[in-house]
Amino acid sequence: MIVDLRVYTYLPSKYRKFLKGYEEIGFALTSKHLGKTLGIFRPESGLQNRTFQFFMYRDSPHRDACRRGMLADPAWGEFVRIDSDALLEQRNTLLQPTSFSALQTPDDLAPEPAADQPTRLFELRSWACLPDRYDSMAKLLAEGGAALLARHAPDVLGWFTATTGVDHRLFQLTAYADALARDNSRTAAGEDLEVKALVARLRQMTREEESQLLLPMPYSPTR
């Protein structure tokens, strides 16, 4: 499976206008053409005026065929023209699930939740590994490290490795009931000696760590 993580940054003055247009027109078009949508999110922390879009494909030929179909759709060209002036930057990273990821295929995604289900808080974490330590870090996580990290944050949707962009980068997507649940998870992990020891080992293998809190759009399949 390939996960296409697309991060778009918009002009602040036109951000809300774009979100409205995407909800009314754009989401139906991407859902029609682009594989299976894992989720559409907006930032709760970090740089604002962004969207984070995750699309899942069986493989590269499937992704290429989907994108050709979308670009050939006149309705997509019309939508792009309407809101093209809102876009400031676009960036995409292709991801593959690791061997220890719960999410391995598009079929592993849970069915769309009921409309009355509470909206959760999501955290996208990434680790840029030292080039000569990537294999060691992946092995450590595969052999129990990922499960240990999930001891106090059990709703980990998936682990991924980047195949484009910055080399040797790992991603983890986790869901929490709310911000308080995340705070409690972090407190519990900080008091767990086994988790603290593991985190210390992982930090010796990385040169950079990032965390982005995300909130799902009302129409996001993953909420």
User: Of 75, 97, 119, which residue constitutes the final position of a domain?
Assistant: 97
Domain that holds residue 28: 2-97
Looking at residues 181-204, what average pLDDT do you find? 96
What CATH number is associated with residue 142?
A: 3.30.70.100
Q: How confident is the model at residue 174 (pLDDT cuts 50, 70, 90)?
A: very high
Which tens digits make up the pLDDT trace of 113-138? 656 678 999 999 999 999 899 999 99
Say yes or no to pLDDT of 46 above 80.
yes
pTM for the model: 0.94
Tell me the per-residue pLDDT of 76-87, one tens digit each, with 9 for 90 and over.
Answer: 988 888 777 888
pLDDT of residue 30: 94
d(CA 156, CA 89): 29
Confidence class of residue 75 from pLDDT cuts 50, 70 and 90?
Answer: very high
Beta strand 36-43 with 121-129 is unpaired
Residues 6+ apart with CB under 8 A from 187: none
Residue 165 has pLDDT above 80, yes or no: no
3-state secondary structure (DSSP) of residue 75: helix
Q: Do 24 and 114 belong together in one domain?
A: no
| 27 within domain boundaries | yes
Residues 114, 144 share a domain: yes
Are both 78 and 111 inside the same structural domain? no
